[in-house]
Amino acid sequence: MSRRRVAILISGRGSNMAALIEAAKAPDYPAEIALVISNRPEAKGLERAKAAGIPTLVIDHSGFGRDRESFERALDAALKAHAIEFVCLAGFMRLLTPWFVGRWENRLINIHPALLPAFKGLDTHARALAAGVKIHGATVHFVVPEMDSGPVIAQAAVPVNEDDTAETLAARVLAAEHRIYPMALRLLAEGRLRVVDGRCHIVDARAAGGLLLAPEI
């Protein structure tokens, strides 16, 4: 089986990166994690990737000043040099320009700790608690120029408990993230995702298993 070459972009500990690396160890997984890139030299995820035997690079955004496109051109060149086919964002704390997103259209995915379109942006768990919602969760989506607005690939819902804090809720959501991100990347690598009129359609969706993970109440 020919496996698709995937790069993961990180800025921190690389928790979802580790979940993708673990999934890709399976012989029947259709993608290999071929490269990990961080925009921060101190990112702890770099050591985790190295320990797994995966090539790593640091492209420090601070060396480019406010020139976002020059940073992204360096990023794009590194991806092309390593023959990368798909890119996964995993805690990559940079807003990408329309230029970069356009270069990787429908090949660039992200995971967000909320049930989009609710709670776009940061501090999602505290905001969910403040809003009094009973269900929270995570979403894997294609990246588009507008933040957290791309076509949804998969979602996982978790219950919000009466005694939850932002930290306890975040831990429950993170466990769900680790389940759905490898599922979504599998579908992408298998060529089973189609974006039509801004919506993601899954080829043979029933065989994909649960792409909406429901809470255990």
Residue 201 is a catalytic residue: no
Q: How far apart are CA 137 and CA 193, in angstroms?
A: 22
Q: What is the DSSP string of 79-110?
A: HHHTT--EEEESS---PPPHHHHHHTTTSEEE
- Catalytic pick among 61, 82, 112, 136: 112
What is the Cα gyration radius of the chain?
Answer: 17
Residue 89: C-alpha distances to residues 20, 103, 166, 180 (Å): 11, 15, 23, 14
φ, ψ (nearest 5 deg) of residue 100 = -70, -45
Catalytic residues: 112
